[in-house]
Amino acid sequence: MNLPNRLTLFRIVLIPLIVLIYVFPYAQFNLEPHVFMIGHVSLSTVNLACLVTYVIAAVTDALDGHIARSRNMMTTFGKFADPIADKMLTTTMFILFASRGIIPVVPVIIMVCRDITVDGMRMIAANNGKVVSAQMMGKLKTVLQMVSIALILLNNLPFELWRLPVSEVVLWFAAFISLASGVSYFNQLKEDILESK
């Protein structure tokens, strides 16, 4: 297994670590995470720990793609596993946020349904001998999702100091781009999807 694929797997391994940090029952173990106050905005060390782990995962996302392209190490496994790792990471974070009422559920549903649909289309294409790499719009969707997650973990800092809902705007924009990229994938693969034989 080459280095880009190892970085992809490492990103997947970080997901349960982030979940553990975020949902760990600190109070049951008499642990009280420190909370910083920045102006009127609170920021927990739990969020900061999740953010650091999340940034490490996001950096591996940028690295594995760059290394694979620059060193001509792109593989079929990488083309499939890299977007799957991205979706696992972002979807896990959004579900955690939605479960605590931090973000609305609707954009999460849009993005999850899009990902399931696109994965289904990829499977149909693979059955016809096609390997579908991530499109530019899909990559933009991933970047927007990652920025949104980072802002949510930061409680929308620094924008919350001026009460600007930037994290929510980016979240909804990510959902819109997610939906648009799903339509783009369908248009690209509709001959495979709609074939009648």
Q: Could you tell me the CATH number of the domain that includes residue 59? A: 1.20.120
User: Of residues 53 and 138, which shows the higher confidence score?
Assistant: 53
Residue 120 pLDDT greater than 90, yes or no:
no
State the pLDDT confidence band at 49, using cuts at 50, 70 and 90: very high
- pLDDT of res. 197: 55
Give CA–CA dist 53/109, Å, rounded.
25
- What span, in angstroms and rounded, lies between the C-alpha atoms of 103 and 149? 10
- The yes-or-no verdict on residue 58 having pLDDT over 70 is yes
Tokens of 24: 């760990």
Residue type, 5: N
Q: Return the closest-CA partner of residue 57 out of 112, 7, 5, 22.
A: 7
Token pair belonging to 113: 């349904």
Q: How many domains does the chain have?
A: 1
- Predicted local distance difference test score (pLDDT) of residue 82: 83
Handedness of CA 16, 34, 96, 30 (dihedral sign): positive
Burial tier of 101 (Cβ tally within 10 Å: 0-12, 13-18, 19+): exposed
Host domain of residue 39: 3-193
What's the half-sphere exposure (Cβ side, CA atoms, 13 Å) at 112?
Answer: 13
Q: Do residues 46 and 21 make contact, with C-beta atoms less than 8 angstroms apart?
A: yes
Task: Locate 188 and state its tokens.
Answer: 């690209």
